[in-house]
Structure 1
Amino acid sequence: MGALERAIALGADMAEIDLRLTADGRLAVIHDATCERTTNGRGPVAALTMQELASLDAGSWFGPEWGDQHVPELGQVLDLARGRLLLNLELKPDTRSEAMLDELLRQVALHDFAAHCVVTSFDADLIDELKQRAPAQVAGYIFGRGELPGWSFSAKVDVLSVEQSLVDAAFCEFAAASDKMVHVWTVNEPAAMRRFAGLGVDAVITNHPERFPKLV
């Protein structure tokens, strides 16, 4: 939660959060599939309940001053961001896709957040399923280096979230002609930020939002 407060303070327009389904069907905000790297817990996130995850120290790995940070639930983040920050909700792949989408759509509706978020995933089937269930929800595919399977995509998807080495003028022209928004990640160097802004991408995903306003 501290990272989101920091993003708001820096004037970021949007923040990306990673979502994983817990053992009790809740959506936890945590990047890794296991707890060890970013918390003082152990084992798969999917094997723990939301209450168990929320009790973990999720900040000390980054620095001692973040020791009061815990693993939040999606609803807590939606409450914090409401009216202050748009969100990119990245769904991590999970075999329990129906349960994951059930909880996502429940929380987004409960917090009236559908118009304030984009839902993305490396799992294209998951995004296609989401668009079938909630056609109006802005959603997109994520592609990493070497993962772009040709320039042919579902007409229903709204966003192409693409690793920066894959984005050039030709790709941006294709996306615009296909009525797709382009989000490029993860761009931390000022020169690259300037280049992508010049190409007209719709969003630059960075670990350093404080650098971007100085360039454009």
Structure 2
Amino acid sequence: MVTSQNPAPAYRDQRVRRATLAAAIVTAITLALVLNANVTRVHAAGAFSSLRSPGEAAFIAGHRGDKTVAPENTLQALGQALNSAADYVETDVQLTADGVPVLMHDWTVDRTTNGTGPVWNYSYEELSALDAGSWFGEEFAGATVPSLEEFLNLLRWSTKNAILELKGSWTDEQVGLIADLIARHGVSDHVMIGSFDIMTLQALQRVSPELPGMLIVRDIVGDPGALAAAAGAVALVTSKKAITQDPELVERVHDAGLGILIYTLNDSETWSDAVSLGVDGIVTDRPAELGQWIAQEFTDPDNLPFAKGVHAAG
């Protein structure tokens, strides 16, 4: 493994970043996809051009692809989600030791590959040689850790959009690398950038302000508008706990002109709760199942009050 100076985001400085985040808040969020090269697509930011009302169908974001049918963040799982009812595919981006953006959630490769150690200790060549599928099932033996470029090459032929979560803290130069790849593949209108790190989203605003940013926060305290403004974000992504403890949170976020997504909801009870509060999007490990649930809930005559004002997004 490469052990030279690490060009990847500063994962090990998270305590410092959290302190900076707190200060900023106080002061101010394939596979079977080629249908038609000229197919009509919906602009990613259009998901928030008309915010949901309580009872309207939320859009679906497949969490790390479709984790129920294939190993997470592989092209197989991402392709399944892109070919499902999901409006968005959510995935995680990190940098290898030689600066190649790859799709991996954990800081280390241990859980989802046959390798060990931090992602940033591997060159892209070393990382792509790992088996990222056998842990999920023998039929996925040999699946690899995809590069972001491989995923964007899938996305460009799809009708769907993507949410790219940049893991850790990113510099302007590193964010610029992501923005350049997105532009090169012609999908700038179909990608949103998410991060827990305010300074990463601030870098996005400096480098590529046309890409919409979303701030991911486990809890939203205080004014959501000020929180999003600190990051230049168009939406907040938060937890089920946040809206359960504060049922008026969704209304306050919408009043600030922001979108709101909830993660990671995987059953009909939580889907129903989220929709009843008017969330704009639901991040789920079960995009196909959520799509079926929405189709049933919003076409069944017995659920007419629930289906008031339904519109598709994405």
Using the size of structure 2 for normalisation, the TM-score is 0.65
Aligned to 1:7: 81
1:147-186 to 2 correspondence within 5 Å?
147-151=219-223, 152-155=226-229, 156-167=232-243, 168-186=246-264
Instruction: Tell me the SS of whatever aligns to 1:18.
Output: strand
| Bigger mean CA deviation after superposition, 82-91 or 184-193 | 82-91
The alpha carbon displacement at 1:41 in A equals 1.4
1:26-175 to 2 correspondence within 5 Å?
26-82=100-156, 83-94=158-169, 97-144=171-218, 147-151=219-223, 152-155=226-229, 156-167=232-243, 168-175=246-253
1:184-195 to 2 correspondence within 5 Å?
184-195=262-273
For residue 200 of structure 1, the aligned residue among 278, 286, 292 is 278
Contact 2:215 2:228 in 1 (8 A): no
Contact 1:27 1:100 in 2 (8 A): no
1:30-89 deviation digits (Å, cap 9, x = unpaired): 111111111111221111111211111111111211113101110110111223321110
Q: Aligned equivalents of 1:34 and 1:24: distance in 2?
A: 16
Q: Aligned equivalents of 2:278 and 2:204: distance in 1?
A: 27
Instruction: Tell me the SS of whatever aligns to 1:204.
Output: strand
The alpha carbon displacement at 1:148 in A equals 2.8
CA RMSD of aligned residues (A): 1.6
Q: What stretches of structure 1 of length at least 5 have no aligned partner?
A: none
From the superposition, tell whether residues 149 and 49 of structure 1 become closer, same or farther in structure 2 (CA, over 3 Å): farther
Instruction: Tell me the SS of whatever aligns to 1:153.
Output: helix
Using the size of structure 1 for normalisation, the TM-score is 0.92
Percent identical residues: 31
1:93-116 deviation digits (Å, cap 9, x = unpaired): 04x523420211111111121110
The alpha carbon displacement at 1:136 in A equals 1.9
Q: Aligned equivalents of 1:149 and 1:169: distance in 2?
A: 13
Q: What stretches of structure 2 of length at least 5 have no aligned partner?
A: 1-74, 295-314
Query: Which amino acid in 2 is paired with 1:163?
Result: S
Q: Aligned equivalents of 1:43 and 1:53: distance in 2?
A: 11
Which structure ranks higher in relative contact order (CA pairs < 8 Å, sequence separation ≥ 6)?
A: 2
Q: Aligned equivalents of 1:131 and 1:123: distance in 2?
A: 13
Contact 1:25 1:99 in 2 (8 A): no
Q: Aligned equivalents of 1:160 and 1:189: distance in 2?
A: 22
Q: Aligned equivalents of 2:236 and 2:210: distance in 1?
A: 16
The alpha carbon displacement at 1:131 in A equals 1.5
Instruction: Tell me the SS of whatever aligns to 2:284.
Output: coil
Q: Aligned equivalents of 1:63 and 1:178: distance in 2?
A: 45
